[in-house]
Structure 1
Amino acid sequence: MNSFLDRLVHGARHLAERALRGLGLSRAPDVAHEAAGDEWADGLFAHQHRSLAFKLFVPQRNTGRRRPLVLMLHGCNQNPDDFAAGTQMNRLAHAHGFLVLYPAQTRHANAHRCWNWFKPQHQQRDRGEPALLAALTRFVMSQHDVDPARVYVAGLSAGGAMADILGRAYPDIFAAVGIHSGVPAGAASDIASALGAMKAGRVGAGPRPRMPTIVFHGDADQVVHPRNGEHVVAAALAGHGGESSAGASRTQSFNGRDVTRRTYPDARGRAAVEHWLLHDGGHAWAGGSPEGSFTDPAGPDASAEMLRFFLDHPRSANTV
């Protein structure tokens, strides 16, 4: 870690801790990761007159190559520690040697700590929260030996909706997107339309880039209607120009839950879009740990499947 990041993360520790206390975040060390020499660091990032607390997992394991980075966006009423514990993404990062970045939404920005995916000023490139999250991602990339072709974003619920926005707005940064129980970008423009989209599903709006996308959604989700997952998939397919319109469907059982998985291949036969419909699944991260909120241990390991999908899709120079 260079001296500039040292000053940000360590020299301004008292500022970060004060911000984290206000967010309800814990600084308790992850004993297993600390024992293995991994780093679980707090940070505070400022951009366009706004500060954002974050946590960054940096594994000790280094393959000698530039490493992937996964941006993880928590849902409402969650925080980075909670989301990391529930998704167990750090466990996978420890095993495979990639970095994981967890920004923390503030109560000042949203009373329920939701990312503001439903407001027009937070749905566009170089504006609002997308600009802030993209700048944070670029900052971490500049401070660590991150492979720019292997930077990904995933999120749950409001975090999934914001992940879809980031994938649409910043295809030059993110190589693939993972959306769990989310809403398609552009499906709402205010609180009323957001509640309507969550209740019944709504088609998104705006141009779509060619973006590999993996979607998880429970068909018994009472918070975000599962039709939203279908709309996210349809929008992702539209970004691929219709070349992946013919999907292959297969129903399997994973850890006590039946799942219908539909894959849509690109021209090279590689899955460009995947849709995992979790039968009898609610508003929860599939295969998650009870150590975190909004998780369900049944079903496939959404974190592992997202990682598998991500690493199959490095961003090529002609992607954007």
Structure 2
Amino acid sequence: MTRARSVPAVIPVVPPLLALAASLAGCAAPDAVLGGVTQAVTLTEVTNFGSNPGALKMFTFVPSGLPSGAPLVVVLHGCTESASSYSTETEWGNLAGRFGFAVVFAEQESANNSLSCFNWFQPSDTSRGQGEALSIKQMVDNMKSTRGSDPARVFVTGISAGGIMTEVMMATYPDVFAGGAVMSGAPYACAASLTDANTCQMGNVSHTPQQWGDLVRNAFPGYSGPYPRLVAFHGSMDTTVAPADLQQSVDQWSNVLGIDETADVSETFRTATHKVFRDAAGHSRIETYLISGMGHALTVDPGTNPDQGGATGAFSEDHDIYSSFYAAQFFGLTAPPSGDTTPPSATLTAVAGSDTTAPYAVTIDTTALGNGSHTLAARAFDAANNAGTSAAITVTVQNGGGGGGRLETFSSSSGPDNPGWTLGGWTLSTRDATGTPGSRSITATAAPAFNTVTRTATWSGLALGAAPRLSYQRQLALSDANILASAGLSVIINDGADHVVDSKAISGFTSYSESSFTARSNLDLSAFAGKTVTLKLVVTASDSSSTVTSATAVIDQIQIQ
């Protein structure tokens, strides 16, 4: 179970305003699959698809044997990207092969924008019947005439610059698109020039929901038909397109769709706060996923489960949610022909895996968990990929001791509980993973100034048993200031040589943070069974061109079983 990476924020060598407009990202190539296993996809370029006033390129993926009347998804990449690179990260071709729809990948050319961004801030490219917006609409027209795409099931999605362009297409062609999926985007018409882009991206455009809605209605005066539904994914730590833009998109489209801005459902789904905004009939019209700790990024979830996919890369991060799949599900592309959209029910007994046969009971192996409190919940999926979540329960795990068992809780202000520690550049912190009054953790920050800085704490003399495992709690804040910078945490076992057993690292103008302690459980140390080893906690950051990059780690509740 691997899960995704971040979209590049700003290219530091570009003038600031252009860089901000260019910080909107992602694109590449997959093929038809069975289950969740990806095969290579080849994109086909289509020329002469219309007058093409925006001078864009058109690429397609159509699964072999796809019948006429199938749905169509239009995909828009971000700055510095291509159709091919974004296809690789999103694996829309993989989903098309599984669920039977066609995909168009629109591609910007550097002659139109030096960083290959769609010109989402330029009225000549964002107005109905003009520029890039018309070029994208002509791609849809081509697919309808040559492939028989279902005009009632045409959808659009994109990231960053492509995400904002997605809302452009929803606003200017509501008669063409039935829904949109926006990754790290912003509301329609939040900027009308390159100089307005920064204000828009920082979420500083001040409009009421009515005013936001009027901008959409004015994009196609006199239109009285239905408007597209919206699903949006955004990082809580996005400093390129602020999370405030997510709420402004909700304000805008809720007003257009005639629903209020208050969510009917607000739940924690894996790493995100998931909200659902329904109409009076109870139908979902807007859904949002605010991913905790994610910056300006596409969230993917590599794996073989039905709802897993996507590839990590320069512009995508593993945050346990495959956004393309959940966008396709929102569009209704993953449902069986019956169109069942009723959420299944789930009853929790214990959770330790999955079961596909009633009564859906799973046995939990507590030795795979660290001692202490754990919250468990069940999530059920039906044949239409509708999901239901049980109420959570809390259980307390206390595994037996056994050879080599050690626990470090930093329970006092005088230092670590156990002998053998050398804190180096680490210090005691008042933050505590368990919330126990007076208990501590340890923390370190590496903040380079045109160099590399490393902080190392060691715990020596650890005699390991026959089947050793490591668990610990961490809280990270990593930030890279430019494309040459890097930052991260490494957990190392030394048995005469260093072996990295767990790590988190970023590089190239991105950020990563954890808003609360994150459990790292049951790390396999069997390669060191029976040995006496040293545990090393290493925070490092490197930046040869600024003093802004930093890496901070807080560590608590270290347990070796």
The verdict on a shared fold, with TM-score over 0.5 as the criterion, is yes
* 1:119 to partner: Cα distance: 1.1
> Which AA in structure 1 matches 2:62?
V
* 1:39 to partner: Cα distance: 6.0
1:233 to 239, 243, 250: 250
Retained in 2: the 8 A contact 1:217–1:278? yes
* 1:267 to partner: Cα distance: 2.5
Cα distance in 1 for residues equivalent to 2:106 and 2:149: 17
Aligned to 2:289: 276
Residues 1:259 and 2:272 aligned together:
yes
Equivalent pairs counted in the alignment come to 281
**Where does 1:288-307 land on structure 2 (aligned, <5 Å)?**
289-290=310-311, 292-307=313-328
* 1:199 to partner: Cα distance: 2.5
1:55 to 52, 59, 71: 59
Greater share of residues in strand = 2
Residues 1:206 and 2:215 aligned together:
yes
* 1:169 to partner: Cα distance: 0.8
Residues 1:117 and 2:120 aligned together:
yes
Aligned to 2:265: 248
Q: 1:50 to 1:306 in 2, by over 3 A?
A: closer
Cα distance in 2 for residues equivalent to 1:92 and 1:231: 30
> Which AA in structure 2 matches 1:206?
L
Q: 1:149 to 1:244 in 2, by over 3 A?
A: farther
* 1:67-102 per-position Cα deviation (integer Å, ceiling 9, x unaligned): 000000000011000000011111111101110100
Cα distance in 2 for residues equivalent to 1:240 and 1:31: 35
* 1:158 to partner: Cα distance: 0.5
| Structure 2: segments with no counterpart, 5+ residues | 1-27, 218-225, 302-309, 336-561
> Which AA in structure 2 matches 1:124?
S
Instruction: Give the secondary-structure state (helix, strand or coil) at the position aligned to 2:59.
Output: strand
Which deviates further from its counterpart, 283-292 or 173-182? 283-292
Aligned to 1:14: none
Cα distance in 1 for residues equivalent to 2:52 and 2:30: 32
* 1:137 to partner: Cα distance: 1.3
Instruction: Give the secondary-structure state (helix, strand or coil) at the position aligned to 1:207.
Output: helix
> Which AA in structure 1 matches 2:71?
P
> Which AA in structure 2 matches 1:287?
V
* 1:104 to partner: Cα distance: 0.8
Retained in 1: the 8 A contact 2:163–2:183? yes
Instruction: Give the secondary-structure state (helix, strand or coil) at the position aligned to 1:260.
Output: strand
> Which AA in structure 2 matches 1:53?
K
Aligned to 2:552: none
**Where does 1:126-141 land on structure 2 (aligned, <5 Å)?**
126-141=129-144
| Structure 1: segments with no counterpart, 5+ residues | 1-27, 315-320
Which deviates further from its counterpart, 292-301 or 269-278? 292-301
Cα distance in 2 for residues equivalent to 1:264 and 1:189: 28
Cα distance in 1 for residues equivalent to 2:267 and 2:74: 29
The structure having more radius of gyration, on CA atoms, is: 2
Cα distance in 2 for residues equivalent to 1:170 and 1:49: 16
* 1:269 to partner: Cα distance: 1.2
> Which AA in structure 2 matches 1:131?
L
Cα distance in 1 for residues equivalent to 2:109 and 2:40: 30
Structure ranking higher on relative contact order (CA contacts 8 Å, 6+ apart): 1
Superposed CA RMSD in Å reads 2.6
Segments of 4+ moved more than 2 angstroms: 28-33, 35-40, 48-52, 199-205, 207-211, 242-247, 288-293
Aligned to 1:5: none
Greater share of residues in helix = 1
Residues 1:81 and 2:98 aligned together:
no
**Where does 1:160-179 land on structure 2 (aligned, <5 Å)?**
160-179=163-182
Retained in 2: the 8 A contact 1:76–1:158? yes
> Which AA in structure 1 matches 2:254?
L
* 1:196 to partner: Cα distance: 1.7
* 1:241 to partner: Cα distance: 1.7
Retained in 2: the 8 A contact 1:70–1:101? yes
Residues 1:158 and 2:151 aligned together:
no
